[in-house]
Amino acid sequence: MTCEELLKALNDYVDGAQLTEICEEFSQHLAGCDPCQVVVDNIRQTISLYRAGQPYAMPKSFEERLQQSLKQRWEEKHGGSGASATFG
């Protein structure tokens, strides 16, 4: 197994592929290789860390402007009383 093949397998493994789907050689390697296991764990932690943060709340003032603009556009497109659903 070359370095590239190993890294590729490792990447698929992080993405949730089962060991059996990747290859026997990688599976055996991972079982006996602490550094590889730690790299996999580091990558998973890295992804979790980026997912854990929700720092970008939409500004309230923008939300109001957005709703206004959308309402206006909707009414232009659907003709006048866009806010009430009519069927037929």
In whole angstroms, how close is the CB of 11 to another protein at the nearest point?
4
From 18, 52, 60, 80, residue interacting with another protein (rule: CB under 8 A)? 52
Answer yes or no whether residue 41 interacts with another protein by CB under 8 A: yes
With a CB cutoff of 8 Å and minimum separation 6, the contacts of 83 are 71, 75
Q: Of 25, 28, 31, 45, which one interacts with another protein (CB under 8 A)?
A: 45
Among 7, 25, 28, 64, binds another protein (CB under 8 A): 7
> From CA 11, how far away is CA 13, in angstroms rounded?
5
The SS3 assignment for 16 reads coil
Alpha helices per DSSP H over 1-88: 3-14, 19-22, 24-31, 34-52, 60-78
Q: Which is nearer to another protein, 18 or 35 (CB)?
A: 35
Strand, coil or helix: 83: coil
Q: Which positions touch another protein (CB under 8 A)?
A: 1-8, 10-12, 14-15, 33-36, 38-39, 41-43, 45-59, 62-63, 66-67, 69-71, 73-74, 77-78, 82-87
